[in-house]
Amino acid sequence: MISKPGRRLLLDEMYAPRLASVLRNEGHDVAAVLEHPELRAASDDDLFAWAADQSRRIVTENVDDFCRLMKRATQDGLMTSGLLLVDRRVLPRNDPRSLLAALRCWLIRPPQQSHPVEWLRPAPDVEG
């Protein structure tokens, strides 16, 4: 299933490029910091600016730093594509299937009132 228009993601450096690759193979527009040599050593400020320029929402566990950057960008009237924050206690990196399922759900869900900062929620359990 293809992601909704305008849903482009950049996975922060804590996430394996394999996640982005799997989602791209499913038709989603997802990139990973670790896939781009110029981003690997970039500061959070530079990464934030790159993501905005590329119209990509940053998926990160680095809540404090990126929320500070978002607040500053909003106050300064700068363009941003937003943040998709991950609570590692809810979606731990050592459980990539849960993270992948949550990202899939976010990418395909019907557009709602878009907020520049969202928390990634676990995918609902599907039984049956």
- 65-121 pLDDT, tens digit per residue, is 999 999 999 999 888 889 999 999 999 989 999 999 999 999 998 766 667 899 999
The span from the CA of 96 to the CA of 40, in Å, is: 21
Place of tokens 């600016």: 49
Structure confidence at residue 127 (pLDDT): 43
Structure tokens at 127: 């039984």
Q: Is residue 90 part of a domain?
A: yes
Q: Is residue 2 part of a domain?
A: no
* Total count of domains within the chain: 1
Structure confidence at residue 81 (pLDDT): 85
Q: Is residue 128 part of a domain?
A: no
Q: Is residue 1 part of a domain?
A: no
Local structure of residue 48 (DSSP, 8 states): H
Measured N-to-C along each axis, helices 96-108 and 17-25 cross at an angle, to the nearest 10 degrees, of 40
Confidence grade of residue 7 (pLDDT, cut at 50, 70, 90): confident
Q: Is residue 43 part of a domain?
A: yes
Confidence grade of residue 6 (pLDDT, cut at 50, 70, 90): low
CB 95 within 8 A of CB 46: no
- Residue 49, classed as helix, strand or coil, is helix
Q: Is residue 36 part of a domain?
A: yes
The span from the CA of 47 to the CA of 33, in Å, is: 8
Task: Tell me which residue range forms the domain holding 23.
Answer: 8-114
Confidence grade of residue 128 (pLDDT, cut at 50, 70, 90): very low
Local structure of residue 33 (DSSP, 8 states): G
Q: Is residue 120 part of a domain?
A: no
pTM higher than 0.85: yes
14-55 confidence digits (pLDDT tens): 999 999 999 999 999 999 999 999 999 899 999 999 999 999
Structure confidence at residue 111 (pLDDT): 65
